[in-house]
Amino acid sequence: MSDDDKVNTGHNIENKELIKNARKPVGELGHQILDRMNKSHENMAQWGVSHFDIEEDDLILDIGCGGGRNLERFATQIITGKVIGIDYSEVSVEKSSKLNSEAISEGKVEVIQGSVSEMPFEDNTFDIITGFETIYFWPDFINDLKEVNRVLKKGGLVFFCNEAVYREGKMEKYDDLVELLDMKIYSEDVLKESLEKTGFNDFKAYLEEENDWICITARKS
Ligand SMILES: C[S@@+](CC[C@H](N)C(=O)[O-])C[C@H]1O[C@@H](n2cnc3c(N)ncnc32)[C@H](O)[C@@H]1O
């Protein structure tokens, strides 16, 4: 899911069988793509997380946690808080758990297998909910955002970060990738509208022009 993986070049997707695993990592290729994404998403993730603050007692949920690099990052920023990762891929859960094994044994991190569409958490649980490179694959964006809203505390922060953003007339380069991964690439306007429709306010969008990255934040109303 990055230039490093040669997937943004549209007609030149290399190693389709590997790249297909970005949607739901499985088996050996799943392990391989998660190793790659932990590295290839790092610059974007560092840029993205610079747009919000974490308190030492925050309870943070990372949806679609993949290889678990962002769980590892957040675990260094909390003291009494906790970081939970959820992902519907068994391989992602395995990888995230392995990378964060020490923090898991300290009770700082927990990794759960499950879908964004039906999360095993009480209402109003989390201070911060994040999703890096994952919303493209959510099966029903509006209902899934309602589920995110349900488990977020009132006033809590939602954050999404994507390295692909919809721009009218400029989407041809993504055609092959969109078909291969059956993914949806959202515009800033659709993200704003969808979040406002599902119980969020204070929408902010940040664009990184050089790489065309987008990250957004909003709060539960
Ligand atoms: C492209 S990877 C990104 C992984 C990681 N967040 C990163 O930035 O490197 C997408 C991840 O989202 C997960 N995912 C996709 N749809 C999901 C859903 N409906 N519920 C839970 N996880 C999902 C996939 O299994 C995969 O691990």
Q: What is the dihedral of CA 94, 34, 218, 154, to 10 degrees?
A: 0
Q: Which domain holds residue 56?
A: 3-220
Ligand 1 geometric centre to CA of 34 (Å): 10
- Is residue 41 within 8 A of residue 81, CB to CB? The reply is no
Query: How many domains are there within the chain?
Result: 1
Residue 13's pLDDT is 74
Q: Which atom of ligand 1 is nearest to the CA of 144?
A: 19
Q: What CATH number is attached to the domain comprising 61? A: 3.40.50.150
Name the pTM for this structure. 0.95
Residue 4 one-letter amino acid: D
Residue 110 CB-half CA count within 13 A: 11
**183-218 residue pLDDT tens:** 999 999 999 999 999 999 999 999 999 999 999 999
**How many Cβ atoms are within 10 Å of 197's Cβ, its own excluded?**
11
**Residue 115 Cβ contacting ligand 1 at under 6 Å:** yes
Bridge partners for 162 per DSSP:
214
Ligand 1 geometric centre to CA of 116 (Å): 10
**Residue 24 Cβ contacting ligand 1 at under 6 Å:** yes
- Is residue 6 within 8 A of residue 14, CB to CB? The reply is yes
Integer distance in angstroms from the first to the last C-alpha of the chain? Answer: 32
Residues 6+ apart with CB under 8 A from 12: 6
**Residue 5 Cβ contacting ligand 1 at under 6 Å:** no
Residue 8's pLDDT is 46
**18-69 residue pLDDT tens:** 999 999 999 999 999 999 999 999 999 999 999 999 999 999 999 999 999 9
**74-120 residue pLDDT tens:** 999 999 999 999 999 999 999 999 999 999 999 999 999 999 999 99
